[in-house]
Structure 1
C-alpha cells in the first residue's frame, strides 16, 4: 500500500509536497496503515493533475529509465519553470510503502544531466535498514543487501541517467534466483501495479486483453458498475471474430486502397491464424435482449467501460489506481459507487487504493446520510501568487461542532482551492466580444 508520496520541483509544484495517506482517524475495526481512497479537489490549473502526473512520472522512470537512456541527452524531466533557479535545481520523488506489512522508503533525485541521488530503506521490526544509497555514480550498501558483489557489478553498468532499481530489475528477469534482497524486487513490482488514467478513455485493445471469461471477479465488478450507471446495459457477452472481420474498423477504406492488395493479403493471412474475442453489450428491449457493438455505444459509456475495467483489474489483482478528473466520466452517484467498492472489505480484499482528482463538490457531501469521503481522504490543491502549487488536507481545518456541510463550505471558499472569479473581467470580455461582432457586421 502507498503510505505517502513526496515530490518537489515538478511542473507547477516548486517546493516539496506530501500526499499523506496515513489515516488520521483509526478505529479497532479499521487498523490499516493507509486509507484506500484519496480525492484531490481544486480549481482549474491548481495543480491537481500535476500531482498525479508526478506519481505517474516516477512510475515510468522506475520501469523504463534503463531502456530509454540516450548517451549525452540527460533526463527528460519537467521542473517548475517560473524561476530560473528551479530549472537547474533537482527534482525529488519519494514513496513510503507498506509491502507485506513492512515499511519501505524509496526515492531519487534528478537534475538535467541524470540521477543525483537514489536510495532504498526498509523497516523490519520498525528499525531502518539500508538496502542501498547512491550519490551520483557512488554506491553504499547495507548489511542486508545480499550478494554485494553482484549488486556492485550491476551498479557499474547502470547509466548515469538511469535508476539502479530499473537496471537491477532488468537483470533480475534473466537471473530470477540470483539477486537479493527481496525489497528491490518488491518495490519495483509495486510500481508495476500502478494504473494511471489521465482523462480515462476506453481503448478496445485494453478490453481485449482482459481474461473476461476466466476472471469472474472482474466480470462481476464491471457488469455491476454498468448496471449501476443506468446506461441500459444488462449484460456483456463474448463473441469470436477475426482480424479480417475487424479490418474496416482498424483501417479506413482510403488507407486500404493506398496500401493495396498486399495489405489485404496480410490481413487475410492474420485472420486465419489469430481469431479474436470481442465483447458485445446486451440491451433489454421490448422483444428481448439485443447485442450492440462497442462502436454503437455512446462516448460516455465507452469511457465508463474503460474506467470500470481498470477498477475491476485493480480490485482483483491489487495495486493503486490513479484517475484524473474522475467526474468527467461518471455521475456523482456512480463515482460514489466506485469509491465504495474501494472502501469495502468484501469488494476490495487486497486493499487496493484509488487516488483521483475532481471538481465535483458533491463528493464532499453525503448520500443517504453516509459520507462519501472521510475527512482524512480529502485533499486540496491551490496555487499561490507566484504560480506555485501546494497540497493540503481537509484535516488542517477543525470540524464544526454543530455539524459540517463540507460541500457548502468548500464552495463558499472556507477551505480555499476554489477559483477567484472576477465578474468584472467576465463582463469586460463579453463587452469586448460585442464590439467585435458589431464591427464585423457594420
Structure 2
C-alpha cells in the first residue's frame, strides 16, 4: 500500500510536495494508510498534475530501460515558469508497505539522465539499504543476495534508465504473493506494475470488446455487476457469449448487394471476420418480456466510460493495488462516486487494502449522504496555484474543524479552504459587453 508520495519540479509543481496517506483520525492501529484520497481544486490548479507525477514515476520505473535511449535525454516535464527550473533536477519518492514492511524507493533525474536512485526497507523498523546509486556508482546493502549478478546488471544499466527497471528485465520468474518470499527489488517493481491510472479524456477504446478484460474471479465480477446496477444505467448483468459467423454478420455488417448471378452473398468481410471463433462481452437489459443483450457499441458513451472504470475498480479491489482516477466526476454521478468510494473504504469489500486516489471538482463529495460522511477529514486534499503559477498540495487536516459542526461542502465553495477559482464578475461582464459591441458593428 502507498504510505506517501513526494515529488518536486514536475509540471506546475516547482517545490517539493507530499501526498501523505497516514491516517490522522483513526482508532485502528493496523490502518497504516487511508484507503481513499480525493484531491480537489479549481481548473488548472495542479490536482491533475499531482496524479500525473505519480503516473510518470510508474511509467519510468516500468519502461525506462526500453523507451529511453542514451544520448537523447529524459522526457520529463519540469516547472517551466522560471528559467532555472528547466535545468534543475526532478525527484520522485514513494513510501510503500509490502508484506508488512515499509520500503522507500526514489530517484532524481535531470534532462540528461538519472542522477540518483535508491531503495531502502525497514525490517524490524530499522533502516536497511538495498542499493544506492549516484550516477554510475553503486553501493549495496549487507543483505543484498546475488550481489555478483546485481553488479553485472548495474554495469549494463544505461545512464537514462533506472536500475530497478533493468533488474526486472532479467527476472523472468512467475509472480507470487508479496508475503511468500520478500524480495525488496522484485516486490517494489511489482507494486508499480499493479498500479492503474486513468486520465482524461477517458477513451472508450480501452474497454475490451472481447472477454479478455472481464475479471476472472467471482468476487471482482460481483463487484463490477454491483457498480453497474448501482449506476442505474439499465444493465442488470454482463455475459460472455461465443461469437459465430452468423451472429457477427447479423450484428456487425450490412447485407451485400446481389452478385452477377442474382444471389446475395455473405456480407463484406464476414467470412474473414467470422472465421475466428471467440468470446465477446454483451450487456443484459431488463425488458418487458425478459432480458435483452446489447453490444458495447449500442451503449451510451457515458455507460462505456463507466464500464471501463468499473472493470478497473473491480480488478484492483480483487487483486490489490493503487488506482488513480483523474476527474472522477466526469464519468460518475456523485451518488455512484460515493458508492465506489465506499467499496474502497470498507474492509469487507476491500480486504486487500487497495487504494483509490482521485481528483474532482464535485464539492458534493465533501458533504454527506444519509448523515454519513462520504470522505473522512484525512482523505481530503486540495491543490492551489499561486501568482507565479506554482502549485501547492495541502490537506484538510491543516484546518481545525468547527465545534458546532462542519459543512465542508459550503465552506469549500465559500473559499474557506482555498483551492477555488478567483472569478471576476466585472471582467466577465466586460467580455460579454465587448462581444455584443463587436456583433453590432459587424451587422452595420
Higher mean displacement: 192-201 or 242-251: 242-251
Q: Does 1:208 align with 2:213?
A: no
Task: Tell me which residue corresponds to 2:340.
Answer: 338
Higher mean displacement: 185-194 or 239-248: 239-248
Equivalent positions of 1:40-119 (< 5 A) are: 40-119=39-118
Task: Tell me which residue corresponds to 1:364.
Answer: 366
- State the distance in 2 between where 1:323 and 1:112 align: 28
Task: Tell me which residue corresponds to 2:239.
Answer: 237
Deviation, structure 1 residue 439: 2.2
On the 8 A contact 1:243/1:276 being kept in 2, the answer is no
On the 8 A contact 1:146/1:181 being kept in 2, the answer is no
Number of residues of Structure 1 aligned to a counterpart in Structure 2: 427
Task: Tell me which residue corresponds to 2:309.
Answer: 307
Deviation, structure 1 residue 429: 1.0
CA distance 1:246–1:8, shift in 2 (3 Å): farther
Higher mean displacement: 15-24 or 229-238: 229-238
Deviation, structure 1 residue 98: 0.4
CA distance 1:246–1:149, shift in 2 (3 Å): farther
- State the distance in 1 between where 2:19 and 2:141 align: 28
On the 8 A contact 1:202/1:307 being kept in 2, the answer is no
Task: Tell me which residue corresponds to 2:183.
Answer: 182
On the 8 A contact 2:48/2:359 being kept in 1, the answer is yes
Task: Tell me which residue corresponds to 1:150.
Answer: 149
On the 8 A contact 1:203/1:306 being kept in 2, the answer is no
Task: Tell me which residue corresponds to 1:167.
Answer: 166
Q: Does 1:195 align with 2:196?
A: yes
- For each residue in 1:297-334, what CA deviation from the matched residue of structure 2 results, as whole angstroms up to 9, or x when unmatched? 11111111111111000001110000000000111000
Task: Tell me which residue corresponds to 1:259.
Answer: none
CA distance 1:164–1:351, shift in 2 (3 Å): same
Deviation, structure 1 residue 209: 5.2
Deviation, structure 1 residue 296: 1.1
On the 8 A contact 1:202/1:305 being kept in 2, the answer is no
Query: Among 211, 221, 224, which residue is 2:223 paired with?
Result: 221
Deviation, structure 1 residue 245: 6.7
Q: Does 1:318 align with 2:320?
A: yes
On the 8 A contact 2:249/2:274 being kept in 1, the answer is no
**Structure 1 unaligned spans of 5+:** 254-263
Task: Tell me which residue corresponds to 1:377.
Answer: 379
SS in 2 for 1:313: helix
Task: Tell me which residue corresponds to 1:432.
Answer: 434
Task: Tell me which residue corresponds to 1:390.
Answer: 392
Quote the RMSD (CA, aligned, Å).
2.4
- For each residue in 1:207-257, what CA deviation from the matched residue of structure 2 results, as whole angstroms up to 9, or x when unmatched? 63546484222221111111111111111122122699769999999xxxx
Equivalent positions of 1:128-139 (< 5 A) are: 128-139=127-138
Deviation, structure 1 residue 38: 0.1
TM-score normalised per structure 2? 0.91
CA distance 1:252–1:162, shift in 2 (3 Å): farther
On the 8 A contact 1:5/1:96 being kept in 2, the answer is yes
Deviation, structure 1 residue 149: 1.2
CA distance 1:248–1:292, shift in 2 (3 Å): closer
CA distance 1:419–1:151, shift in 2 (3 Å): same
TM-score normalised per structure 1? 0.92
Higher mean displacement: 205-214 or 161-170: 205-214
